[in-house]
Amino acid sequence: MKRFFFFPLILLILGSCSCDPEKMMKGMVWGLNKMAGEGYFPSEEILEFGEFERVEVNMNRTNVDGKNYSYVQLRFFNGKNPNLQYNQENIALRCAELYAQEYSKIKNYKEIQIVFIQSDPINPDNFAMNEYSFNVQDLLKTENPTL
């Protein structure tokens, strides 16, 4: 019975408040950043670097036979920067360096995987995918990221 009253109460509070949806989203992202660690979501600088449409962040930590396997995977979709055709590895390295500097809990992971996914605008079922892996310790030793 308590659950029945709890749900309408939440709806009433959210419905009656004339909140700015943008502020609500910023608040939710702020809360997620606090839970996952500062810099969990890639910054606008990283997205603008390759002119990407969107990014997905996947994290995995496993322990198999006493060995720690952990990685952060950043999946960048439909980059529009012309340099992606010719300097994709350098762009991947730059994105990994920037993310390693921004994410507060990066030391808990061994590698960063950068995945570029380019989909066909006519047939979205067709796509190309390139993956690059970088050791986190190597990225943290780099004081001046490559340009």
CB 94 within 8 A of CB 45: no
> What pLDDT, on a 0 to 100 scale, did the predictor assign at position 117?
92
Reading the chain (147 residues) residue by residue, the pLDDT tens digits are: 455 556 665 665 666 555 666 776 676 666 666 666 676 778 888 888 888 888 999 988 888 888 888 999 999 998 888 888 888 999 999 999 999 998 888 888 999 999 999 998 888 889 889 999 999 999 887 655 555
Q: Where are the domains of the chain?
A: 1-36, 38-141
**Amino acid occupying residue 124:** P
> What pLDDT, on a 0 to 100 scale, did the predictor assign at position 103?
86
Cα–Cα distance measured from residue 15 to residue 12, given in angstroms and rounded to the nearest whole number = 5
